[in-house]
Structures are given as C-alpha cells and as structure tokens.
Amino acid sequence: MTAIAAAGARVWRVGAQVDTDQLAPGHAMKHGIEVVARHCLESVRPDFAAGVRPGDVLVAGPDFGIGSSREQAASALVHLGLAAVVAPSFSGLYFRNAFNVGLLLLTCERAEEITEGERIDFDAAAGRIVRPGGELLPTQPIPGFLLDMVAAGGLLAQLQQRSSRRTTP
C-alpha cells in the first residue's frame, strides 16, 4: 500500500540528474533489494539510506532517474518506505518503472523551491503540495488508474489483489 496523500512528510533534498546508478549502485546489484536499498544514493547523500524513515519524501532537480532501465532504482526507494519523489521532470523509463513497483512520483515544476528538512503535505489526486507556510505548489495531475495502481502497491500487487477478490467471497 502506498499513500497518495500525506501530511507533514519530511523532505530529503538532492540535485539534478540523479541517475539509476546512484539510486541502485552497480556494485550492489548482485545482491537482493535489502542490500541495494542500503547503498541507495550513497554517492550523493551518504546519510540517506540509514536516516530515511517511512513516509519521508525525496525532492530532486530535473531529469530524476536517468540512466539504465534497472527497476531496482525505483524499488530501492519503495523498500526504504519513501512516500514519494518530487521533481520537475523524470526519465520516461524511470517514471514507468516507478509506478509499476508502487513508487509515487510527483512532477512539480517548482520542486526546487522546497528545502531540506521541511515538512510538506501532498495530495496526488488533487495535484498539489502544500509547504509549511501554506504556500501551494501545483503537481501534474496523474490519471486515476495510475493512482489506483500505485495505491495498491504497484502493478503486480494490484493484479494479485484483483484476482484474490475474484476468488474469495
């Protein structure tokens, strides 16, 4: 289950063009997702993997998730319990993988105004982020079927839930 709205989510800031090798370092890729997650972003934010708490959000600059199509670059953040990634733009392949594994991405032109450590509210269905002072930042509306999929925990989780609903009364 992924929340598509949250209040008081703590912000971790990273810069522009965070790539899939920073998110899921090559040297950890032979291990399971627990190990990959432990090394997530170590080259840009060495304090991230150990310090992040479920429900926190990552706020980044443009072109988040460029690089390879490795799915672990999204599932590592799911494993760490991240509520969402907020950025002005995402790599297309990363955007696709992220929703498939249940990671919510919020496309927000003004993402970089958000600062490290602040606590934000977000509502993906309404298409907005609210900063501590009440300032509202619009996010790109996401179609309902994608929000349903991410809320279910991703594509596979959604298919499993649907099939179990069909077979149990």
User: Which residues make up the interface to its own copies (CB under 8 A)?
Assistant: 63, 66, 68-69, 89-96, 99, 105, 107, 140-143, 146
Residues in contact with 136: Cβ distance below 8 Å, sequence separation at least 6, in sequence order: 128, 129, 130
Closest approach of Cβ 150 to its own copies, in Å? 12
Beta carbon nearer to its own copies, 12 or 95? 95
Q: For residues 12 and 44, is the Cβ–Cβ distance under 8 A? A: no
Beta carbon nearer to its own copies, 16 or 157? 16
Beta carbon nearer to its own copies, 36 or 93? 93
Closest approach of Cβ 22 to its own copies, in Å? 16
DSSP string, the chain: ---SEEEEEEEEE--S--BHHHHS-GGGTTS-HHHHHHTTTTTT-TTHHHH--TT-EEE--SSBTBS---THHHHHHHHTT--EEEES-B-HHHHHHHHHTT--EEE-TTGGGS-TT-EEEEETTTTEEE-TTS-EEE-----HHHHHHHHTTSHHHHHHHHHHHHH--
Closest approach of Cβ 29 to its own copies, in Å? 15
Q: For residues 152 and 1, is the Cβ–Cβ distance under 8 A? A: yes
Closest approach of Cβ 68 to its own copies, in Å? 7
Beta carbon nearer to its own copies, 22 or 91? 91
Beta carbon nearer to its own copies, 2 or 107? 107
Closest approach of Cβ 117 to its own copies, in Å? 26
